Structure 1
Amino acid sequence: MAGNQKFPSDLLLVAGLVILADIFVLIPVLSGSIIRTAFGLPLVLFLPGYALIAMLFPEKSGLEGMERIALSVAMSVAVVPLIGLVLNYTPWGIRETPLLASLSAFTLLLSAVAYARRRQLPADRTFEVPALSLIAGVLEKPKSKTEKTLRIILALSFLVLIGTGVYITQVPQEREPFTKFYILGPDRMAENYTTEYIQGESGTYIIGITNNEYRTMDYTVEVRLENESLLLPENLQHIRLAHNTTLEEPLEITPSIEGKNMQLEFLLFNETEKKVPSRDLRLWINVTKEG
C-alpha cells in the first residue's frame, strides 16, 4: 500500500548533510575549520546529483545502487556549473553565500519531491538504501561491463574528491593583497550621485574602504575640487582597518566655487605611500548660482 513508508533514511541523510554544510560555511566561528571542507565538498560534488536521481528514479527497479552513486557524481558536476551560470545573471552574482543558498535549496527541494514520489509507491517497490546490502553490492564482482565501467568512474570520482579536499585543506591558498576603495550615493548604491548643485547646497557621498591586505592598514582620505583640497572630518583623515574589514562613512560636501564640469576627486592614501594616492575616484559636478 502506498503512503505508509517511513521517511527514507538516505533523503534524511542528504538533508542533514546540507544543513551541516550551511552551518559550517555561514557561521564565522566554524567556517575556518577543516570540517567546513568535509561538508562543503559533498554539497558541491554529490548531494545535488543524488537528490536529482532520487527524484527521477523513486523505484527499486529504476537503477542499481552503483549506478545511482556514479550518476549522482556526474549529475552534480553537471548541475553545479548551471546553477552558477544562472546566478551570474542575477544581482547576487557567483558568490559564496548565493551559491550555497542555491545549491542547498535545489538539493532540499528535489529531496522533498523524491520523498513525495516514493510515498506514492507500494513499500515493496520503493527504493531504499540498506547499508549492508549496499556495501555488499560494492564489494561483489561486477555483473557486466557497464557496471564495471561505472565502478571505475565512481572510484576515479572519489579519488578526485579526496585529492581536492586534501589540496584545499593542506596547500596554502595565496591570494593577491588589495584594498577596495569606492564611493556610493546617498542611498548607499553605486548610482544617483549628487552632481548638480546650487551654490551653498550640500551633497552626501558614502566613502567605502575594504582592507584585504592580510594585515592591519592605516589609510587617509583626501577630497579635491578642481585640485583644491576640501576640509574633511577627523575620522576620514586617520583610518585604521583590520584585515577583511570594511568601513563606510558618509561625507557631506558643500562646493564653494561655481562652475561646470568641475572635477571632484576622492583620493585614498595608505601607510606606505603618503604622497601618491593608491586609489583615485572622480566625479564631474556642476555648481550654479541660485535663480
Structure 2
Amino acid sequence: MSHGTSRWTRFGFVRRYPFDLATVSISTALATLIATSFPSGSLLRLFVTVPLALFFPGYALVSVLFPATERDAGEAAATTAERRPRGIDVIERLGLAFVLSVATLPLIVLALPLAGQALTATTITTTLGLLTVVVAQLGVVRRLRTPDGERFTVAPIANLKSISGDRNAIATVSSLLLGLAIAAAVSTLLVAFLVPASGGGFTELALYSEDEDGELVTGALPSEVEPEESIPLTIAIENNEGTDQEYTVVVQEQVLENGSVVDRTELRRIEASVSDGATGSGERSITPTAEPGETVRISVLLYEDDPPATPTTESATEETHFWITVTEP
C-alpha cells in the first residue's frame, strides 16, 4: 500500500512540474550539446545559439523572481496586509526574459577569467547552459511552493484573454508595445546573425595559442622568453571579401621609443590562399632577436597580395601584436 502511494506521489510531482520550465531545461540541454558539438559554421548551431543566449537564461531567472501569476486590479487593492508573491503578465515575463538574458552573458564572460577558465566558445556555452538549467530548477521549486490559485501557469488562451479582457486601455497598449519591442529586437538580432553584411567584404586576423588542454585560446601568448627561445602561435585569417583571396603575412619585431618604431626586423613571411567564407589557419613559431633584458613588440601584418618594400603597421590591411621581453640568461 505504501509502495503504491509513493509511486502516485512521484507521478503527481511529474504532473505538477511546470511545462514551460521543463521545456526550457530540455531545450537548453539540447542547445548546449549542439552548440558545443557542431562546427562554428553550422546553421543548426546558429539557430540553437540564439534562444540559448537571448531567451532561456532570462526566462529561468524570471521564473525564480516571479512565480505567481498577475493579480488583477481588484485583487491587488483588496488588502495591504496580504502576503503573496508578486506576479507579472505574460508580455512582461517575455520582455524581462529577453532583457535578463542579454545582461547574463556579459556577467559570465567577466566571471570565467576570475575563476581561472579560458574564454572560449565551449566554456561560455557550457557555463551558460548549466547555469540556465540550475536556475530553472530553482524556478520550479519557487512555483510549486506558490498556492495553486496564485501560481503562474502556461495557458495561451487564458493569457490572451487577460491581455485583452478587463485590463484598462493604458495597460493593454503598454503590453502590446512591449511585445512589439521584443519582436523587433529579436528580429533585428536574427537578421544580423543570418544576413551577410551589405557594406562590402572584410578580412579578420587573429592570433591564438594552445592552453594546457590543447585548445586554441586568445590572450595566452607568453610575455617573457629566454634568449633564442621560440614562441609557437597560430595565425588565423577569416576571408569574408566575397571572393577567394591571396594574403601575405609579415611577422615583424619592432623596437619602440616614445611610441614610435625606431627599428624593425622581419622574423617570418607567410603566403596564404583563403577561399571566400573560409578561415585559414596554421601554426608557426617565431624567435625574437632582441637582446636580453629588452622588450619588443611582435607585430603580425596582413596584406592582400604583395606587401610594400618596407611593411609597416599603417600600410597593413589588418594588424595585431603582442609584447615580449627577452629575459636575462
TM-score by length of 2: 0.60
CA contact (8 A) 2:66 2:86 kept: yes
1:47 aligned residue: 56
Tell whether 2:28 aligns with 1:28.
Answer: no
Structure 2 counterpart of 1:13, from 13, 23, 27: 23
Distance verdict in 2 for CA 1:114–1:249, change over 3 Å: same
Is residue 2:137 matched to residue 1:112? Answer: yes
Tell me if the contact between 2:95 and 2:179 (Cα under 8 Å) persists in the aligned partners: no
Unaligned runs of 5+ in 1: none
Which runs of 5 or more residues in structure 2 are unaligned? 1-8, 72-84, 255-262
With 219-228 and 6-15 compared, the bigger mean Cα shift is at 219-228
Secondary structure of the structure 2 residue equivalent to 1:213: strand
In structure 1, which of residues 195, 207, 211 is the aligned counterpart of residue 237 of structure 2?
211
Q: TM-score, normalised by structure 1?
A: 0.66
Output the CA distance in 2 between the equivalents of 1:184 and 1:30. 21
| One-letter amino acid matched to 2:235 | I
Q: 2:172 maps to what in 1?
A: 148
- What is the rounded CA distance, in whole Å, between the counterparts of 1:264 and 1:94 in structure 2? 24
Taking a change above 3 Å as real, the CA distance of residues 287 and 258 of structure 1, as seen in their structure-2 partners, is farther
- Counterparts of 1:104 and 1:112 in 2: how far apart (Å)? 13
Counterpart position of 1:273: 306
The match for 1:247 among 265, 274, 282 is 282
Match of 2:74 in 1: none
Provide the residue aligned with 2:222 in structure 1.
Answer: 191
Aligned-residue offset at 1:9:
0.7
Aligned length: 273
> Structure 1 residues 267, 237: closer, same or farther in 2, change over 3 A?
same
In structure 2, relative to structure 1, the CA distance for the partners of 1:42 and 1:63 (3 Å cut) is farther
What residue number does 1:80 align with?
Answer: 102
Q: Give the CA RMSD over aligned residues.
A: 4.7
What is the letter of the counterpart of residue 129 of structure 2? Answer: S
Residue 185 of structure 1 contacts residue 205 of structure 1 at CA under 8 Å; is this kept in 2? no
Which 10-residue stretch deviates more, 18-27 or 257-266?
257-266
Q: CA deviation at 1:84?
A: 0.9
Identity within the alignment, %: 17
Specify the SS of the correspondent of 1:209: strand
Q: Deviations over 1:239-275 (max 9, x none)?
A: 555532332223467x6x9887597967656461243
Given that 1:185 and 1:192 are in contact with CA atoms closer than 8 Å, whether structure 2 keeps it comes out as no
